[in-house]
Amino acid sequence: MPLFGKPKYTTVNISKRAKKTDIPSGLWHKCGDCGHIIHNKEFDESLKVCAKCNYHFVIGCRERVNILLDESSFREFDKDMKPVDVLSFKGPKSYKDKIKEDSAATGLNDAVISGDGLIDGKKVVIIVTDSRFIMGTLGSVMGEKITRAAERAMEKKLPLIIVSGSGGGARMYEGMLSLMQMAKTSGILMKLNKSRLPYISVLTNPTMAGVMASFASLGDIIIAEPKALIGFTGPRVIEQTLRQRLPEGFQTSEFLLAHGLIDMIVSRKDMRATLSRLLGYFA
């Protein structure tokens, strides 16, 4: 009978078992603050802001322009300007190699773009730095682009907006030339102020060191995104130097608002509307 003809045990050939389908990579992002997992669609729809803890991810300068300005209104200035390795800097990686590497990764010639455009029909001159290119450091190209953009704002009698994101301050690949840009950008913004034209400074994560010690802190109105790291020297260096614990939340946007260094904290999704409203007040 078939009942007695069956083998005692049923064996399974594991090697022929269908493999578990792998989840494709690149579909999710992990929040750097709370660890929340965010799907790409949600990530893009939220303008790269964590819905759980409101952590604002770093975004590129062109993406920032698309968020802030009216569609297709941006006209870029000095787009072909590139840094020069005047010191023939040598280190673990040469300055020329670093420029080439970051240019390939970001599609930028330097850590800044500048131009004019419209925010709800209101014309502005705008400068946006990009921390993906040598940490958004201030070098000769950035200093020159800021200066030229401010001069155009004065010539056309337009408000100026600078969106800053620099984790590295002055670009030491350029030595003293980079430090000179702190004075250069501060000087042109003083001229803009004397022309009675508004300058709005927007600080993003991170805005530190020479950038924060010059043009980023000189706005008539200073706005920051939530939870941005803002300061001169990083908190770990300060703690090691002072040998004492710093206050909770030290150098965050929230801490600096409470202590009067900035004027307001605005979420990325509300930044465009806030800038439009402020421009309306100035007009």
**83-112 pLDDT, tens digit each:** 988 888 888 889 999 999 999 999 999 999
Q: Is the pLDDT of residue 272 over 70?
A: yes
Q: Is the pLDDT of residue 277 over 50?
A: yes
- The reported pLDDT for the residue numbered 18 is 46
Most confident option among 3-7, 23-27, 184-188, 224-228: 184-188
Task: Select the more confidently predicted residue: 59 or 128.
Answer: 128
- The reported pLDDT for the residue numbered 129 is 93
- The reported pLDDT for the residue numbered 32 is 64
Three-state SS sequence of 136-158: HCECHHHHHHHHHHHHHHHHHCC
- The reported pLDDT for the residue numbered 30 is 73
Residue 15: pLDDT band (50, 70, 90) is: low
Residue 215: pLDDT band (50, 70, 90) is: very high
What domains appear along the chain, each with residue ranges and CATH number?
A: 27-57 (no CATH), 58-282 (3.90.226.10)
- The reported pLDDT for the residue numbered 3 is 52
Q: Is the pLDDT of residue 212 over 50?
A: yes
**178-187 pLDDT, tens digit each:** 999 999 999 9
The residue-averaged pLDDT of 235-246 equals: 74
Across the strands, what pairs with 77?
114
Residue 259: pLDDT band (50, 70, 90) is: confident
Task: Select the more confidently predicted residue: 51 or 227.
Answer: 227
- Interatomic CA distance for residues 224 and 125, integer angstroms: 19
- The reported pLDDT for the residue numbered 6 is 56
Residue 42: pLDDT band (50, 70, 90) is: low
Q: Which residues contact 109 (CB under 8 A, 6 or more apart)?
A: 79, 80, 81, 82, 83, 103, 141
Do the beta carbons of residue 34 and residue 57 sit within 8 Å?
A: no
Q: Is the pLDDT of residue 193 over 60?
A: yes
**137-177 pLDDT, tens digit each:** 999 999 999 999 999 999 999 999 999 988 778 888 998 99
- The reported pLDDT for the residue numbered 24 is 55
- The reported pLDDT for the residue numbered 253 is 86
Q: Dihedral angle at the C-alpha atoms of 178, 201, 206, 29, nearest 10 degrees?
A: -130
Cis peptide before 206 (omega within 30 of 0): yes
Do the beta carbons of residue 186 and residue 143 sit within 8 Å?
A: no
Question: Strands 75-77 and 112-119: what pairing?
Answer: antiparallel
